[in-house]
Amino acid sequence: MNIGIQGTIGSFHYEVAKNIFGQDNNFVECMDFNDIPILLKKGKIDKGIMAVENTIAGAILPNYSLIDEYDLHIAGEYYLSIHHHLMALPGQTIPDIKEVWSHPMALLQCRKYLRTQPHIKLVEEKDTAEMAKIIRDKQLKGIAAIAGYEAAKLYGLEILAESIQTNKINATRFVVLDLKNGENGQDFNKASIRFKLSHKPGSLVDILQIFKDYNLNMSKIQSVPIIDKPWEYAFFVDLLINNMADYQAAMYQVARQVIELKILGEYPSMNR
């Protein structure tokens, strides 16, 4: 399969794609999250891997908007423990490092450690693994990257400091995206939905009460601004399903009370 990943080979998206689908696939590097839905729509890739949430940085709101805007289908999920390592060319030491290049999210997740190294300038770049590759390719001394172990291994860099993320319990939730064709052919116990509400008091409470009445546990609720409609929001909700009849009845009731309901995906839940 052709699988779209954000970033370079060796990135966390690459690691997730490899863990799910195996190494014997063609991994298409996308430097921007926007490229993934475009390539899916053009048929250039069969699946896309996209991060949507991190335990430290929270929800990645633009990615929720992309899934909605391009009518993408969530076919699965994957939780990856994130370990950020400071890495550079072999023989370098931390005092040798003048700059560290990495993705803004990685820099954010390592800010407590980086404050202990005030001599190092932080430079935001588009990808973690790509910076590791550039350091290797250009043999850049005095420059370090923050990336995962996979990148250090692939590009022959030496890890100067291990697991420098602020919160050692650091995980990212990724979703598998494709274009939905026909009925869902897999068993599922989790659903991701998106709905829009009218502006009237208690409208959200009414929807939450439906979930409660039908014993549906929300594992996630996220409001996202609606483009071109200031101060209006869509709600993205992940539901854990215990009984399929209850789930179907609940969706029927929700559809009657909202302006718009979209089932983004129905898939097996991955235990965290």
Every domain range in the chain assigned CATH 3.30.70.260: 190-267
Buried b (16+ CB within 10 A) or exposed e, 70-84: bebbbbbbbebebeb
User: pTM score, two decimals?
Assistant: 0.89
pLDDT for res 168: 84
Mean of pLDDT values over 124-138: 94
CATH number of 2-82+170-178: 3.40.190.10
Q: Looking at the chain, which residues constitute the CATH 3.40.190.10 domain(s)?
A: 2-82+170-178, 85-161
Residue with the bigger pLDDT between 230 and 64: it is 64
Alpha-carbon distances, residue 157 vs 14, 184, 209 (angstroms) = 18, 43, 53
Provide the pLDDT confidence category of residue 52 given band limits of 50, 70 and 90: very high
254 — pLDDT class (breaks 50, 70, 90): very high
* Number of CB atoms found within 10 A of residue 111's CB: 13
Q: Which fold has domain 190-267?
A: Alpha-Beta Plaits (3.30.70)
Kindly report which listed range (16-30, 142-156, 171-185) carries the lowest average pLDDT score: 171-185
> How far is the C-alpha of 54 from the C-alpha of 105, rounded, in Å?
9
Q: Is the pLDDT of residue 272 over 60?
A: no
What is the domain class of 85-161 according to CATH? alpha beta
**206-253: pLDDT as tens digits:** 999 999 999 999 999 999 888 777 777 899 999 999 999 999 999 999
Check whether 183 has a pLDDT greater than 70. Answer: no
Q: What is the pLDDT of residue 29?
A: 96
Burial class (CB in 10 A: 0-12, 13-18, 19+), 269: middle
| pLDDT over 70 at 184, yes or no | no
Distance CA 194, CA 236 (A): 4
Nearest partner of 21 among 76, 92, 87, 81, judged by Cα: 76
85-108 tens-digit pLDDT? 999 999 999 999 999 999 898 998
Across the chain, what does the average pLDDT equal? 93
Token digits for 92? 């370098």
